[in-house]
Amino acid sequence: MRVRRVFSSFIFAAVILTLLFAAGHPVTAAQTAAQTSATSGLDPSNLDRTCKPCDDFYQFAVGGWLKNNPIPPEYPEWGSFVTLHDKNQQELRGILEAAAAHKDRAPGSNQQKIGDFYASCMDTAAVDAQGSKPLDAELAAIASIHDRAGVIQEAARLQSAGVNVLFTFGSDQDFKDSSKVIGEANQGGLGLPDRDYYTRDDAQSKELRDKYVHHVDKIFELMGDSPEKAAAQARTVLAIETALAQASMTNVQLRDPDAVYHKMPVAKLQELTPNISWSEYFRAVGSPSLTEINIGQPDFLHTLNGMLAGVPAEDWKTYLRWHLIQRYAGALSENFVQENFNFYGSTLTGTKELRPRWKRCASAVDRNLGEALGQLYVEKYFPPAAKARALAMVHNLIAALRDDLQTLPWMSPQTRQAATVKLEAFKVKIGYPDTWRDYSALKIDSGSYLGNLRRAVEFESARDLAKIGKPVDRGEWGISPPTVDAYNNPQLNEIVFPAGILQPPFFDPAASDAYNYGAMGAVIGHELTHGFDDQGAKFDAQGNLKDWWTAEDFKRFQERGECVANQFSGYEVEKGLHENGKLVEGESIADLGGLAIAYAAYQKSLNGKPPSPEKDANGFTPEQIFFLGYVQTWTINSRPEYARLQVNTDPHPFPKFRAIGPLSNMPEFAHAFHCKKGDPMVRAKVCKIW
């Protein structure tokens, strides 16, 4: 069940894998340069020395890699994050294949469940033989709808199966009482990535909508509908989704926690939406009894209420049928899988071909039984020593931010004290949960893949809804241990670094401190400063939505954030397509602050001694290696279609701008590479927050 969270990750929030340049190339005795670079963490073949570092540091630092590493056909992008994700998938494959082949697995054990889930996904003969038959019972339920009440009842059942129809509903931490969990409803129900895909009038957007309608048409034809009927139904789907999109808030508006918090008694919600019987809906979706609820977008539900009265039941049946098929198309026979990929993979992201089946199946297990698989993953690949090393670096970064808070010239003593209290209250999660998720109630067998997938989705929906009315579980994790990412959750005032990212090239014990602080240190600093970005700054030390700044300080903070937003709005991804500075403001603040804090922590690690003036075998000082290490994390080639998708929907900036944006604001970078005023890598108007 898709529910909005105030949740800031390190890498791309949208559709795809995003991971780092795997830890160097094999080294032979003859490769002297590569041997010496291993001590610094740098691979000299990544560089483009034909470009001056003060002209375009991204091209200088990783231009060689970008030139020599084209995107494989199965990916929309290729770079540091993706290659590390690929490595992790290879390791997960070994675990899954061993679990699937193990003949003495205990029934009901995690090993049995991940093994059977993976095996059922890999059984393409059985999946293809079934076609769309596994959906027949739900399709029959949709066909039996004859009135508005039936639409609501079936929508609730579909939502509990992970189908994005009408709106989203689930549990969330109460923004203003961080000790409890409440129910929450938000806008939803779209088949395209974002509401703007329906509302933009430019030629490219119109063409994409036409391709979407054609895709919906083709899916209905695969279900056995005539071409004429399928085409008419596809137009119906677009009309309903367009009306929902026009009532939806934009991605930028959704970033304001105050704008999406409207807690009210259920009785008031019933008055707002008389065409929805909420008591019947809650029973059908499997929710506990509610007396109050947060409505993220009241105007959206008001519009939906009118649509439920005005749109014929037959049209709603078409809409529900489409979303059911779309949700599970990837688990149906090959013709559905390929048509689903043709639009969501090829058209939207530019990807040339499907990933191999085993990769898709490994990802499916990770998405649906992430902690069952993750437990076996960390036992094999994440020793306690790795956790201890990562925790030590986190504490060093916290100490650097603590020192920085005491000297910020724009922050008053009152706000500084509150900010320090929040920093000291940060909960740090490293590697994996202290308590693993219990999957004992989830039945997984060696039969139908779609059956396993459906039960796993329903299990997660039920687990989520069961939290309503209970105290917040502050030990819960939002991503699985093998994930190559990190995140800050201001509602829990926590920073989380799973095992998947705590390895080379982000953190390499064989590399120099300068490299590690530039790479992993910037990741840690990024998540720390998310607690004080445009969203995180609105939550206090306990995770409550609360004004803890003085009015003057918050105004000064916003002015500095506006500088960052304006900087990024000036970056052009392709001709005519600029970054949306307000959309990427939070992530860009975190990148800038994270790098500054990481640099301070590196200096602090020297215990008062200046960095060694000696250069490594590649001619770089430790300070230069720090900045080169940072840019290695953004070594990514992207397809134009995927770049457009990211700019339109993702709060993270394009990788190149995440690299050069913070650096161009740092005098320490300019000093390290002898850049002068007027060079492209030295901004005339410097943005500085931390």
Residue 329 has which token pair? 């198309």
Predicted confidence (pLDDT) per residue in 64-115, tens digit: 999 999 999 999 999 988 999 999 999 999 999 999 998 788 999 999 999 9
Neighbours of 335 (CB within 10 A): 15
In a domain, 138, yes or no: yes
Neighbours of 489 (CB within 10 A): 27
In a domain, 301, yes or no: yes
Q: What's the confidence (pLDDT) of residue 9? A: 66
Pair 391, 263 in one domain: no
- Indicate if the pLDDT at residue 7 is higher than 70: no
Pair 324, 386 in one domain: no
Percent of the chain, pLDDT > 70? 94
- Indicate if the pLDDT at residue 17 is higher than 80: no
The per-residue DSSP string of 134-148 comes to GGHHHHHHHHT--SH
In a domain, 35, yes or no: no
- Indicate if the pLDDT at residue 38 is higher than 50: no
- Indicate if the pLDDT at residue 23 is higher than 60: no
Q: What is the mean pLDDT of residues 386-397?
A: 88
Residue 510 has which token pair? 């064989």
Pair 274, 387 in one domain: no
Pair 249, 318 in one domain: yes
Pair 199, 296 in one domain: yes
- Indicate if the pLDDT at residue 27 is higher than 60: no
Q: How far is CA 575 from the centre of its chain?
A: 27
Pair 251, 387 in one domain: no
- Backbone angle region of 350, left / alpha / beta, with phi > 0 → left and psi within -120 to 50 → alpha: left
**525 confidence band (pLDDT: 50, 70, 90):** very high
In a domain, 222, yes or no: yes
Domain count, the chain: 2
Predicted confidence (pLDDT) per residue in 608-663, tens digit: 777 777 788 789 999 999 999 999 999 999 999 999 999 999 999 999 999 999 99
**36 confidence band (pLDDT: 50, 70, 90):** very low
Neighbours of 207 (CB within 10 A): 11
Pair 664, 521 in one domain: yes
Percent of the chain, pLDDT > 90? 85
DSSP helix/strand/coil, 273? coil
The residue range of the domain holding 150 is 133-331
Pair 509, 619 in one domain: yes
Angle (nearest 5°) at CA 407 between 394 and 547: 80
Sign of CA dihedral 630, 633, 637, 640: negative
In angstroms, rounded to a whole number, what is the distance separating the alpha carbons of residues 465 and 460?
9
Pair 210, 282 in one domain: yes
Q: What's the confidence (pLDDT) of residue 658? A: 95
In a domain, 215, yes or no: yes
Pair 199, 274 in one domain: yes
The residue type of 676 is K
Q: What is the mean pLDDT of residues 543-565?
A: 94
Instruction: Spell out the residues 6+ positions from residue 528 whose beta carbon is closer than 8 angstroms to its own.
Output: 397, 398, 401, 423, 426, 488, 495, 593, 594, 597
Range in 59-63, 161-165, 383-387, 539-543 the model is least confident about: 383-387
Q: What's the confidence (pLDDT) of residue 610? A: 75
Q: What's the confidence (pLDDT) of residue 507? A: 85
Pair 570, 642 in one domain: yes
* Helices of type H across 382-508: 384-405, 413-424, 449-465
In a domain, 375, yes or no: no
Q: What's the confidence (pLDDT) of residue 384? A: 87
* Helices of type H across 432-543: 449-465, 513-530
CATH code for position 166: 1.10.1380.10
CATH code for position 520: 3.40.390.10
**6 confidence band (pLDDT: 50, 70, 90):** low
- Indicate if the pLDDT at residue 290 is higher than 70: yes
In a domain, 296, yes or no: yes
- Indicate if the pLDDT at residue 34 is higher than 70: no
In angstroms, rounded to a whole number, what is the distance separating the alpha carbons of residues 67 and 432?
36
CA dihedral 437, 438, 441, 443 (to 10 degrees): 70
On whether the CB atoms of residues 79 and 632 are closer than 8 A, the answer is no
Pair 316, 176 in one domain: yes
**37 confidence band (pLDDT: 50, 70, 90):** very low
In a domain, 374, yes or no: no
